[in-house]
Homo-oligomer: A and B are copies of this chain.
Amino acid sequence: MIFLFTDFGAEGPYLGQVKAVLSGMAPGVQAIDLVSNAPSADPESSAGLLGALSQYLPSDCVVLGVVDPGVGGIRDPVVVRADGRWLVGPDNGLFDGVTARAEEVVRYVIQWRPARLSASFHGRDLFAPVAARVAVGNLTGLVRNVEGPQRAVPAPDIDRVIYFDIYGNAFTGRRYSVALKRRRLVVNGHMLSFARTFCDVASGCAFWYRNSIDLVEIAVNSGSAKTDLGLQIGTIIEWTD
């Protein structure tokens, strides 16, 4: 199974071209859109989201990750193995959240280049063919090992807003832990208490909770945290008693 984690949007011309390549080179392997609205040109926030999501992906999947403001520049294209999962994409920090949650990490640099490589769409020309090859288990001549296997280095939490879902809920890069539960979250001048879920607070009330991928999330019951609290990607969160 190949998961696509990108900032390509669902409607545009990019995802379909990537899937055409995958389908041609790895026939019968399912390609699933995991996230198509990753924080654009923001590999660090994207890494926080992808890392949290990765725990909910099959343990032997391939993730084709493309949030790649440096496309056409000098960053390396890489394949990373984090426990059983394979990650294919640019070496710009996008996979740090996944590797931080893994036991063992191996890094490879992609050496192979396609006959035709556009300056702006390595997702289609470079990463999709490599992801397809990884999915069918054929890495011969594709990559060279640069690091590991070695124990992963835990990544620090990201104490800011990293993503908004369609309801305007704000994902932060802070991993939930039981110790946080009795603390209050301060964001943009608002002080929010923990609640288990939406039904536990009054309509219009802002709170923080453990979301479905184990991140601290800011929400407003029957409202939009983004709009109602004036949040944006990057807004800092702090903790108080």
Contact = CB atoms under 8 A, between A and B. Distances in A.
Interface of A: 1, 3, 7-17, 19-20, 23-24, 30, 32-37, 40-41, 49, 53, 56-58, 61, 69-73, 118-121, 124-125, 163, 165-167, 196-200, 209-213, 222
A205 B36 CA distance: 26
Given A119-B209, A120-B209, A197-B119, A10 B13 contact: no
B32 A119 contact: no
A87 to B, nearest CB: 16
**Which of A14, A70, A125 counts the most B-chain CB atoms under 10 A from its CB?**
A14
8 contacts: A10-B33, A11-B33, A40-B166, A69-B198, A71-B197, A72-B199, A120-B212, A121-B211
B166 A70 contact: no
B11 A49 contact: no
B212 A49 contact: no
A16 B30 contact: no
Q: How many copies does the complex hold?
A: 3
A10 B210 CA distance: 23
Contacts of A37: 11-12
A35 to B, nearest CB: 5
A210 B117 CA distance: 12
Nearest to A13: B35
A8 B37 CA distance: 13
A57 B1 contact: no
